[in-house]
Structure 1
Amino acid sequence: MERLAIKFLSEWRDTLHLIGPLRTDFGSVDSGVESSKCEPCLTTDDLIGRMKGIQGHRNSCYLDATLYAMFVQSTAFDRLLERPANKDDIPQYREFQRLLATEVVYPLRR
């Protein structure tokens, strides 16, 4: 098992060398924070064009597409943004909920 792990790490290191160093400057355009609730887009003109959608990073396209589909033209999942925390939620629940609403969903709907 140890030899397999060493082989894997060695191959991973070689792969990283091929794709270059990890970038920290990914996505130079900041969509900002939208603290006011925004309703879904009503026309396709609001959805088409430059700087629309979510900028992906390191294979996040699945999450990006899911969030876009859930929130941009629908209120079906808005309850997730509004539900009060309960005792079974993680300690970071309110902060995560706030970030999802103000830095992902509402800016997408602007």
Structure 2
Amino acid sequence: MTELKGQLEAYWEQGWEGSIAFTFYDVNNHQLIFLQNGQTLTIYNRYDTILWSGKLQFVKRGFFEKHSLEANIWSETKQKGVSYGDWMAWFWQKPPLKAKLILE
């Protein structure tokens, strides 16, 4: 089991037409990790208290679920039990939210 400290990142590339991938930036190894089902993630708010923690279980977002960000971004998935708007906002936050990722 490996515990990494880093921050959340909304990863996108030109040609993705606004689609993003949910990623974790490992600050010690300068490595971007694409988040996957089954990984354990803890997200901290700007006051370093836990905002959300649990095992990742991505589900398809509902057709009518929207976010209120001033950005033309979107994702087909979100974390189960978290609103699409909140999940997107956490990854689009500037400065990025701190996080801990446990890889088994």
TM over 0.5: no
Q: Which has the higher strand share?
A: 2
Q: From the two aligned structures, give the one with the greater helix fraction.
A: 1
Using the size of structure 2 for normalisation, the TM-score is 0.30
Q: Which has the larger radius of gyration?
A: 1
